[in-house]
Amino acid sequence: MDVNLVLNSKAKAFLAASNIGSDVWWQSLTLWGCPIIMDHKSGTAKVTFFWQDPLGNESQSSVAQVLLQINSVTDHHSWEPVSLARVAGTNVWHKQICVESTWRGSYSFIPLTYEQMPHLAFSKSDGSSQAQRRWYISIMDQALPDLLNPFPISIDGKTSALHLPNAESELGWPQWDSGELTVPSDRVMTFSWDSTVLENSRSIYAFQTGEDSDSKPLVILLDGQKWATSSGTPAVLEYLTQQQRIAPAQYLLIDSIDGKVRWSELSCHSDFWQAVFDELFPLAQQHGVQLDRVSTTLVAGQSLGGLAALYAGLHWPKKVQKVISLSGSFWWPDVNRELPCDPTLLAYTPPNSLSAQLQLGQLKASHLDIFMSVGSGEGDMNRYNENMLAALEADRLVTFANQPARLIYDRFCGGHDWLAWRSSLVKGLVALLAPSA
């Protein structure tokens, strides 16, 4: 990311306007749409962001700094984060950066008072990365979306979408973003799962696409609350089923409750999956999910959920036949990501990990259809996912050279980001659940 650029021509014109910061000026900028994206033919694009200080100019407002947080682009591990600049005497803040023209990701603005600025937090701390992280977490609740952006604001109301001009085309999601797709709320059934084994309770969401039939795939989506009705996922999947891009299927969405429970249950936790099969499945059948008609079962998840999805497929081969792993956390259980030198294993193989178990022949994957994806902006996640890919490929070559099961690896231009995962989930379903000819 280059933050020292000559302003693109349209942004320069707005900043040079004599009425900058007036209501008329903001109305004109709103009609144009933000961020302003130009000069994207060389592989990168100049992207200019604007934010309106609701309190006015510097003499009226308590806002002393506005951070620009672009998922996996701007560095939030720094005491000198990328920030917007105020136009003196106005309510206008702006910043231009250079981003790959194929990028898709979410972003937000974080306005700070003087007391919250990073240099003060640094002066009051030991300056460590842990202290920086604590400061950053303390201000994250102040994140705001870009009200000038024409795309819908995220479900949590804190981020906006940045779709660069050459980003890969999405399937179904543009129709959702434009308001063309809806799914009646009564199409998505919600019920409660009170687990004896796990000693907790959560919401479960279920729906099906296409017409009733004697046999349908079952798709389990982890972090189900994220994929429920308000996300647009049911509407997009129904639309793509009607377009004959995805086979009609039954969907079971499992809520992850909270961060602590999620960490416990999605980090290769056998009790969680046994509870899914022994408790949730019978309960779902009572609520009308036709598990006696399932032709194949696919588990999909992102981050820790991507790890959990593959774990389920590797350990329950009679229950799970297909896996979609989006930005899978294959560094687990090496939470510090400090890899030992073991000449018997591939690089980036944490001890006792799924990858290590595959390489040592303790697990087999040749029965699975697998779609894996990871983002170019995800740092060492690329290495861990590439390591897992190599382990899966080696397992197939050694044990089932002629196995027809598919292994698809997709590297997208984006970060560890729901906006990227929604595209990859659809790509994975299109690849693994294509309608029968």
Alpha helices by DSSP H, listed for 278-417, are 281-286, 304-315, 354-359, 381-399
* Domain identity same for 220 and 110: no
Query: Which residues, in sequence order, are bridge partners of residue 298?
Result: 219, 322
- pLDDT for residue 91: 98
Residue 437 lies in a domain: no
Residues 146 and 182 both lie in one domain: no
Q: Which two tokens stand for residue 11?
A: 């942004």
pLDDT at 396: 73
Domain endpoint, select from 163, 192, 227: 163
DSSP 250: E
Shared domain check, 392 and 356: yes
Query: Could you tell me if residue 344 is inside a domain?
Result: yes
**CA nearest to 76, candidates 162, 143, 136, 146:** 136
- Name the average pLDDT for the chain: 92
Asked, for residue 347, whether it belongs to a domain, the answer is yes
Integer Cα distance of 24 and 68 in angstroms: 25
Specify whether 177 is located in the same domain as 158.
no
Instruction: Give the integer Cα–Cα distance in Å for 51 and 61.
Output: 14
Residue 138 falls in which region: left (phi positive, over 0), alpha (psi -120 to 50) or beta: alpha
- The reply to whether 4 falls in a domain is no
Please give the Cα distance from 282 to 96 (Å, whole number). Answer: 54
Identify the band that residue 2 occupies on the pLDDT scale cut at 50, 70 and 90.
very low
Domain identity same for 199 and 69: no
Q: Please give the helix or strand (H or E) that residue 300 lies within, else none.
A: strand 294-302
pTM attached to this predicted model: 0.93
Write the CATH number for 253. 3.40.50.1820
* Mean of pLDDT values over 417-431: 96
Mean pLDDT of 57-71: 96
| Mean local confidence (pLDDT), 209-224 | 92
Percent of the chain with pLDDT over 90: 78
**What residue type is assigned to position 392 of the chain?**
L
* DSSP for residue 144: B
Domain end point (choices 163, 182, 202): 163
Cα 297 to Cα 313: distance, rounded to the nearest angstrom: 9
Residue 3 lies in a domain: no
- Considering the domain boundaries, does residue 252 fall inside one? yes
Which residues does residue 98 pair with via DSSP β-bridges, in sequence order? 2, 46
Q: Same domain for 148 and 228?
A: no
Nearest to 189 by CA among 283, 78, 268: 283
Which residues, in sequence order, are bridge partners of residue 201? 194
Quick check: 405 pLDDT over 90? no
Residue pLDDT, tens place only, 301-343:
999 999 999 999 999 999 999 999 999 999 999 988 877 667 7
Domain that holds residue 121: 9-163
Residue 38 pLDDT class (50, 70, 90 cuts): confident
Examine the domain organization and report whether 103 and 244 are in the same domain.
no
- Structure tokens given for 34: 């933000």
Q: Is 6 helix (H, G, I), strand (E, B) or coil?
A: coil
For β-strands 407-412 and 369-375, DSSP reports them as parallel
Q: What is the pLDDT of residue 340?
A: 66
Q: Are residues 249 and 391 in the same domain?
A: yes
Q: How far apart are CA 367 and CA 365, in angstroms?
A: 5
Residues 421 and 289 in one domain: yes
Of 123, 140, 163, the residue that ends a domain is 163
Q: Are residues 105 and 183 in the same domain?
A: no
Our count of domains for the chain comes to 2
Place of tokens 């990328």: 82
H and E: helices and strands count for the chain: 13, 15
User: At CA 110, angle to CA 109 and CA 111, rounded to 5?
Assistant: 115
Q: Does residue 287 sit within a domain?
A: yes
Does 95 lie in the same domain as 45?
yes
User: Residue 60 domain-assigned?
Assistant: yes
Domain harbouring 13, CATH code: 2.60.40.10
Give the other-Cβ count within 10 Å of 333's Cβ: 13
| 310 and 346 within one domain | yes
